[in-house]
């Protein structure tokens, strides 16, 4: 089975990104989060991985498959108001000293992940959180329905 089949990379991207994304999702699931890939925020940005737990805490993970990918992308700061915790998801080979010290770091491969540096909690605005929970639920339900009945 091709690597991209293990974690669909809907934007294209590379196989390494797909492997990291899958490991991040497995870790978050193990930690009690429901996970979505490619979730669009109300500011128009789309996050790589978002999770929601039973305490209504949102975690966002920006996957970086290479140093060039990290250096070429500064939009991740626009994700911060939409999550209670923010992480970069990287491979074991990524030099995490390049990542900002105030962000969490998850090291992942296709089979799982581990938190290398915990993200500091910064609560999401209550009104934004309530709205985002509804959007998360609608996105998840819509994706499930399209999977069950692609004709929808």
Domain boundaries, the chain: 3-148
CB 58 within 8 A of CB 83: yes
Angle at 49 between CA 83 and CA 85, to 5 degrees: 25
Reference 32, options 8, 57, 67; nearest CA is 57
Reference 29, options 56, 48, 51; nearest CA is 51
CB 60 within 8 A of CB 52: no
- Confidence (pLDDT) at 96: 87
Reference 50, options 140, 110, 123, 142; nearest CA is 140
Reference 119, options 88, 82, 145; nearest CA is 88
Encode the chain (152 residues) as per-residue pLDDT tens digits. 333 344 444 455 689 999 999 999 999 999 999 999 999 999 999 999 999 999 999 999 999 999 999 999 889 999 999 999 999 999 999 998 999 999 999 999 999 999 999 999 999 999 999 999 999 999 999 999 999 999 87
How far apart are alpha carbons 129 and 4 in whole angstroms? 32
- Helix or strand holding residue 120 (H, E): none
């Amino acid at each position: 089975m091709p690597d991209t089949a293990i974690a669909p990379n809907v934007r294209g991207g590379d196989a390494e990104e797909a492997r990291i994304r899958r490991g991040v999702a497995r870790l978050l699931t193990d930690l009690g989060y429901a996970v979505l890939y490619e979730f669009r925020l109300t500011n128009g940005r789309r996050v790589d991985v978002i999770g929601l737990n039973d305490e209504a805490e949102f975690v966002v993970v920006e996957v970086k498959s290479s140093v060039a990918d990290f250096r070429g992308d500064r939009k991740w700061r626009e994700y911060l108001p939409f999550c209670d915790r923010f992480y970069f998801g990287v491979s074991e080979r990524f030099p995490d000293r390049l990542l900002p010290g105030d962000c969490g770091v998850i090291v992942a491969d296709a089979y799982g992940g581990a938190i290398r540096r915990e993200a500091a909690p910064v609560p999401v605005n209550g009104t934004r959180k309530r709205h985002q929970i509804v959007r998360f639920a609608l996105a998840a339900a819509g994706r499930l329905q399209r999977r069950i009945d692609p004709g929808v």
